[in-house]
Amino acid sequence: MATKAKTLWYCTSCGNESPKWMGRCPACGEWNTMVEAPVEAAKSSGGKGSQRAASSDRKPRRLGEIDLSSEPRLVLGVAELDRLLGGGVVPGSLILIGGEPGIGKSTLSLQVPLGCPSLLTLYVTGEESERQVRMRAERLSPGGIPESCLIYCETQIEAVLAQARELKPDLMIVDSVQTMYTDTLDSTPGSVSQIKEVAALLLRFAKDSGVPVILIGHITKDGYIAGPKILEHIVDVVLQFEGENRGSYRLLRSIKNRFGSTSELAVFEMTGKGLREVPNPSEMLIPMHEEGLSGTAISAMLDGTRPLLFEVQALVSSAAYGTAQRSATGFDVRRLNMLLAVLEKRAGFHLSAKDVFLNMAGGLKVSDPACDLAVIAAVLSSNFDYALPLDCCFAGEVGLSGEIRPVGQTDRRIGEAARLGFKKIFVSSYSAQDAPAAAGIKVIKVADVPELVKALFR
C-alpha cells in the first residue's frame, strides 16, 4: 500500500510549523499565513543530523577568552550601507536585503562589488544572465568594471558553495534566495523548505569560512509567498527596502542587526546610473515652497540614532458620504483616530463629520510618537485653512488627556532643526531641556493641545 506523503504547515510570516492547517498562526497571530509543504528528510547535514554532531571538534570555551582582535569590519564602497550595518560588514555574517520586486535590491547589491575594487567579490545570480548583469554593471560603473568582481550564474546552492570555498572571496552576494535550490530536497525552488535549507547552508558557510554573505530576498505586498519573513531569525542582519516603487526615492531600513543598532534608515535616489546616496535626507523630505501651504507641518523625528525632519500633510474636508473617512499613508490609522478623538474631546474641534487624510512625505513609514504633534498641527492647519509659518517644526507625543509629553533626545532634534534653518520648534513643556540647545532657534514649550492651538492660531 502506498503511504501518503507527509506534509507540514508553515507560517509564511514567522516560520512556525504545525501538523495541521490553522486560520491563525498561534505563534505570531497572523491570519491566513499557513502554507502546506511536504516534510522532507534533510539528507544534508541539516542541523539535526547526528553525524555532524559527532564529527564536530568544537568545544565550549570561556566567553572572556574569545579573541576579538581579528574581527575588523569590511568597509564597502556604499557609505550609507556601511552606516546602516553599524560601520561595515562583520566577517562571517549573513545579511538579508528584502524588498518588493523592482525596488532596487539587485542594483544596490551590484553597486557594492563595483564600488570596492580592493575586495574580491563573488556575485551569484539566479535571476539574470551574465550578459544582463554586465550591461547593468556598465551603466552603474561607466569608469570600468573592477578586476576583482566575479560573476557566477548558478541556482544550485551546492555548486555555489563549492565555488565559494575554492575562490575564498572577501564577500559573496546571492541574488536571490528564492531562485536557489538544494538537490537534497525534492520541492521546487522558492518553497518554504528550500528557502530554509538554502539559508541554513549559506549561514553555515559564512560562519565556517568567515566570508560575509549578502542574501537578496523578495517580499510581496501581501506577504503570502514564503520569503524573507521566515528567514529573519536565521540571518544576522535584515535590511528592508521601503518606499514607493514609482517615486525615485528608496528607503533602506535596518530592522534587525546583531552588530549594530536597528531602525536606522538610509535614503537612496534611483537615477539613470543606479542608486545615489542621499546623506542629508531631511533636505529632501522638507518642502521647497516659498509660501506656506495649509495642511502641512514639519516633524522633527528621530530615526534610529539620526534626527530626521520631514513634512506631514493633512487634508480635512466635509465628509462626502454619511460616515467620515480616515486614511493615513505611512502613519498608523488607529493612532490618527486617537489623535482626532483627543482634538474632539480635549480641544473642542468637531472633526467627526469630516474626512481626514494624512500623508507622510517621501513614502516614509513613521512610528516615532514624536510625530503626533506635527500630525495635530497639520490637521488643524487644514481644518482652519491657515498655513503654518514655514520656519517652525514640532516634536512631541500627545497623550489621551490632551497633554503633550516629552520625547527622547529632544536636544538632538532641536540641533538638527537649527542646522536646517528652522527658527522655532514646539516641544513639550515637560521636556528636561531648559535652554535652547542650539543658537538661532526658539524653543517653544507647550503643555497641552489647547495651548498649542493658542500658540499657532491665535
Q: Is 240 in the site for ligand TYD (CB under 6 A)?
A: no
The residue from 12, 13, 33, 106 that contacts Mg ion (CB under 5 A) is: 106
Contacts of 235 (CB under 8 A, 6+ apart): 94, 95, 96, 199, 203, 215, 256
The residue from 29, 102, 389, 440 that contacts ligand TYD (CB under 6 A) is: 102
> Cell numbers at residue 353, please?
463629520
CA gap 425, 300 in Å, rounded: 9
The residue from 14, 44, 136, 234 that contacts ligand TYD (CB under 6 A) is: 136
Q: 272 is in the binding site of which of Mg ion, ligand TYD, none (Cβ under 5 to 8 A by kind)? A: ligand TYD
Q: Distance of CA 109 to CAs 131, 141, 423, Å?
A: 17, 13, 41
Q: Is 361 in the site for ligand TYD (CB under 6 A)?
A: no
Q: Please report how close the Cβ of residue 104 comes to Mg ion at its closest, in angstroms.
A: 8
User: Cβ atoms within 10 A of the Cβ of 31, count?
Assistant: 10
Q: 16 is in the binding site of which of Mg ion, ligand TYD, none (Cβ under 5 to 8 A by kind)? A: none
The residue from 103, 171, 201, 265 that contacts ligand TYD (CB under 6 A) is: 103
Nearer to ligand TYD by C-beta: 138 or 344? Answer: 138
Q: 273 is in the binding site of which of Mg ion, ligand TYD, none (Cβ under 5 to 8 A by kind)? A: ligand TYD
Choices 35-43, 99-107, 276-284, 343-351 (CB under 6 A): range interacting with ligand TYD: 99-107
Contacts of 166 (CB under 8 A, 6+ apart): none
Site for ligand TYD in 106-125 (CB under 6 A): 106-107
Torsions phi, psi for 323 (to 5 deg): -100, 140
Q: Please report how close the Cβ of residue 105 comes to ligand TYD at its closest, in angstroms.
A: 3
Cβ–Cβ under 8 Å, residues 292 and 457: no
298: helix, strand or coil: strand
Q: Is 272 in the site for ligand TYD (CB under 6 A)?
A: yes
Q: 103 is in the binding site of which of ligand TYD, Mg ion, none (Cβ under 5 to 8 A by kind)? A: ligand TYD
Q: Report the relative pairing of strands 17-18 and 306-318 from DSSP bridges.
A: unpaired
Cβ–Cβ under 8 Å, residues 213 and 90: no
Residues that bind ligand TYD (CB under 6 A): 99, 101-107, 136, 139-140, 270, 272-274
